[in-house]
Structure 1
Amino acid sequence: MTRLLFLLLFVLVGVAALLGIKSCQEARHPVISAPAQDFGGKVAILGDGTPIFAPNGTIARALADWLADPKSTRRYFEVGGRQFVGHTDEPTPETRARMTRLVAMLAGSPAVKVEIVGHAAASGNPAADMALSHAHAERARAMLVEEGISADRLSVSTRGAGQPLPGLRPDDPRNDRIGLLMTAPDRPAD
């Protein structure tokens, strides 16, 4: 009798675990549409219900707000901060963290397309600057694809050193960066 009770308990725990796993898998891909909500300016709730750390005044907040705006079809975002290590295409830890948040946002907005715009700090060699800006954009694209964003939603373009950030010298390392041109084709045109 005791063995039967233990067997029954084991089966019930197994079924509960399987239902919990199924529930978690469904939670990753909910079909919910709601505007971003504000929780004290620190956390935004994306349209699919995913909470994301997005303090007011940050790129994450600007992206979350844009994604929640059903009227806005296209917007360019400067990612900001020091994005690459030196004059290379190696992303900084800050950039990796931002890409993780971007993946969460894009996963919750499957119709949004992204053009990743690569830039470079001026090195005195325009061909090398163009190649590096292309490498920046391709590296960001690869990071997004590795995290599950469809390559069909992503494109790259390059600007070389031709568009330094306002207020910076063209050779300032902060010009080694990417920008994001976000497009929501499923929204009505303005």
Structure 2
Amino acid sequence: MINLSKKMKALIFSMVCGLLASSPTAMSADNLVLKMAYQPVADVSVDQSQIVWFRPNVLGSEQGNVNIYVDGEFQTALIPGSYTAFCVKPGTHILGAWLKDAPLYQGKQDMANSVSLAGGKTYYIQVSKGATTVSSMLQKGEANALLKQTRLQDILVSRASAVTACHYTSKDYNLSSDVMFDFGKSSLNNIKAGGREDVAKVAREIASESAKIVVIGHTDPIGSANSNRALGLKRAETVRALLIENGIKADNISVSTAGSNEPVATGCSGLPRNQKIACYAPDRRVVVRSYLK
């Protein structure tokens, strides 16, 4: 497989779209360049505010580019099924999303959408379905269910001077049910082939970077809330034991459970039980959260 640099991707993008470099425009929804599927973002330091702005690819979505502006300057352009994540200084900012506003680029002159952003907080903003400038701010759980269907828009270069590189306080390592636990399982003997090696890889990566580690167990929604919290905790404790086995100091690792409170699977509720169990597999995960030094 050929790995292309960002500059080369941008060049290919411009050639395919037949665009001038001065006209920021996103690709079509069936592009092959946006490779990176959504990864949940980590928390940022208190001197920054993080924004995750996304555009689900839902039935009835207006086609064309939605230009995203920060304080009247171009950040990126979103097509259906894409997202952007960026950071700014806390305080008041003008945030705008404009559908097909070329060639006049009205979004640059739009000073109406003033938003006050708090330090250390992440805001999730969904581009509206229709041809309108209005966007919706969502809670993390609701947003993540939609974001998992999107890919990162990392081709276009931001021109927003207020946007800065994010300073993350932690990094998440997601251990999926593909290598970890089947339905209702949580012990060392239940870990699937490849699971121990994946935990060992995580241990090697976090050995030098982490000041503190929290292992968080997750479950699917089948069963009671109490039993799911207990199951999530058992899964976290099992992974903690493996991290210690791989050289991480026990004093540096704590465990927690989210139970079934942070689902990522959708469209499973009406299925027969066996299909439902399979559908909910992405929820049966363990997250190793490494707090950076």
Comparing both structures, which one devotes a greater share of its residues to helix?
A: 1
Post-superposition offset of 1:70: 11
Quick one: which amino acid aligns to residue 148 of structure 1?
G
Tell me, in whole angstroms, the C-alpha distance in 1 between the residues paired with 2:281 and 2:223: 13
Specify the alignment match of 2:288 in structure 1.
180
Specify the alignment match of 1:84 in structure 2.
181
Quick one: which amino acid aligns to residue 252 of structure 2?
R
Residue 131 (structure 1) aligned with residue 230 (structure 2): yes
Specify the alignment match of 1:98 in structure 2.
198
- Unmatched runs of 5 consecutive residues or more in structure 1: 1-39, 42-55, 63-68
Name the count of aligned residue pairs: 124
Moved over 6 A (4+): none
- Unmatched runs of 5 consecutive residues or more in structure 2: 5-34, 42-164, 270-276
SS of the residue 1:112 aligns to: strand
Post-superposition offset of 1:86: 3.2
Higher relative contact order (CA 8 A, sep 6+): 1
Q: 1:106–1:112: 8 Å Cα contact kept in structure 2?
A: no
SS of the residue 1:179 aligns to: strand
Tell me, in whole angstroms, the C-alpha distance in 2 between the residues paired with 1:80 and 1:57: 17
CA RMSD of aligned residues (A): 3.2
Quick one: which amino acid aligns to residue 176 of structure 2?
G
Q: For residues 106 and 168 of structure 1, do their structure 2 counterparts lie closer, same or farther at Cα, with a shift above 3 Å needed?
A: farther
Residue 152 (structure 1) aligned with residue 262 (structure 2): no
Q: 2:265–2:283: 8 Å Cα contact kept in structure 1?
A: no
State the TM-score, normalizing by the size of structure 2: 0.37
Q: For residues 114 and 139 of structure 1, do their structure 2 counterparts lie closer, same or farther at Cα, with a shift above 3 Å needed?
A: same
Post-superposition offset of 1:57: 6.1
Which structure 2 residues correspond to residues 13-162 of structure 1 after superposition, within 5 A?
71-82=167-178, 83-89=180-186, 90-109=190-209, 111-162=210-261
State the TM-score, normalizing by the size of structure 1: 0.54
